[in-house]
Structure 1
Amino acid sequence: MSRHRFSEGSGPSQRQLRVGELIRRTLSDVLMRGDVHDPDLVGKSITVGEVRTSPDLKVATAFVLPLGGKDEEGTLAALRRSTKELRHQLAKNTELKFAPQLRFEIDRTFDRMDETRRLLQDETVRRDVSGEPEDGEGEGRPE
């Protein structure tokens, strides 16, 4: 297991959460203003949904999604090419002692939410959640 992963059963510290949110807001602002000079990022709307930092705050993984989920791989490649410039902007626009190494991943949160909604609409799941008996269940039992 990578040393930057959380140990089993533990979550991020308050410091990691605070720094992650600071990085998320800063990256969002930088991308929204177009402060990055990669032509594949110019005029592209990118949502930075979450940033997770390693326990030592030296690595930050940003979970991103281009507007409408279009050209995810191209957007990811452009962000990865612009990592040095984005890190420089991060250092310039925050008061962090060290600008972390940036990594980018596609944010799959919305996909998981859609799948959860779909599952919750399934008749069998709805019946299980509501506690309703299945057809024929409970019949023939003495009361």
Structure 2
Amino acid sequence: MSNKRTHTGQGPSQRQLRVGELIRRTLSDVLNRAEIHDPELNAMSITVGEVSCSPDLKIATVYVMPLMGSVPVAEAIAALARNKAELRHRVAQDMTLKYAPDLRFRPDETFDRLDDTRRMFSDPAVARDIAQPDDAEDQNGDADGDGARD
């Protein structure tokens, strides 16, 4: 069996997911305890929503959002980018990876997508479509689709 294993699936590998979650926890702890020597960054409450890693684990994209809109997202990302070296050093201390991943900060748009989904489900046309019975139930008169009437 070969030592070189490649991940041919569409999504991230288990290792990418595991390393991303470890980086997310480490960054969350560091930001929560205000261990960075930047008073501006320490004054912000920042949520680390997700971390996705490249297949070689050398780049980690960190999706962040300030809590409760306390500061603009651009300011939070700028403060994190200014302190990227120290944050990368903290991540490297807590993990046993060959390379400390380069951290790239992006806004977390999960909450925006959630709001869009809620807005879509509250639309009267969509609510009407959801309330309609399934086609199988209409055609056969039964819910289980076997064609027999109970």
Normalising to structure 1: TM-score of the pair? 0.82
Q: Which runs of 4+ in 1 moved over 6 A?
A: none
What corresponds to 1:79 in structure 2?
Answer: 80
Distance 1:13 1:129 in 2: 35
Distance 1:22 1:121 in 2: 37
SS at match of 2:56: coil
Distance 1:80 1:130 in 2: 48
What corresponds to 2:4 in structure 1?
Answer: none
What corresponds to 2:15 in structure 1?
Answer: 15
Corresponding letter in the other structure for 1:68: M
Quote how far apart the aligned CAs of 1:56 are. 0.6
Quote how far apart the aligned CAs of 1:37 are. 1.3
What corresponds to 1:138 in structure 2?
Answer: none
Corresponding letter in the other structure for 2:43: G
Larger radius of gyration: 2
Quote how far apart the aligned CAs of 1:28 are. 0.3
RMSD over aligned Cα atoms = 1.3
Distance 2:112 2:32 in 1: 23
Which of 1 and 2 has higher RCO (CA within 8 Å, sep 6+)?
1
Distance 2:98 2:131 in 1: 52
For structure 2, list consecutive stretches of 5 or more residues without a partner in the other structure. 1-8, 134-150
SS at match of 2:42: coil
Alpha-carbon contact 1:41-1:75 (below 8 Å) kept: yes
Quote how far apart the aligned CAs of 1:130 are. 2.3
Alpha-carbon contact 1:36-1:85 (below 8 Å) kept: yes
What corresponds to 2:28 in structure 1?
Answer: 28
> What is the count of residue pairs matched by the alignment?
124
SS at match of 1:57: coil
The worse-fitting range, judged by mean Cα deviation, of 35-44 and 58-67 is 35-44
Distance 2:19 2:48 in 1: 14
Corresponding letter in the other structure for 1:24: R
Corresponding letter in the other structure for 1:93: D
Corresponding letter in the other structure for 1:99: A
Distance 1:82 1:22 in 2: 19
Normalising to structure 2: TM-score of the pair? 0.79
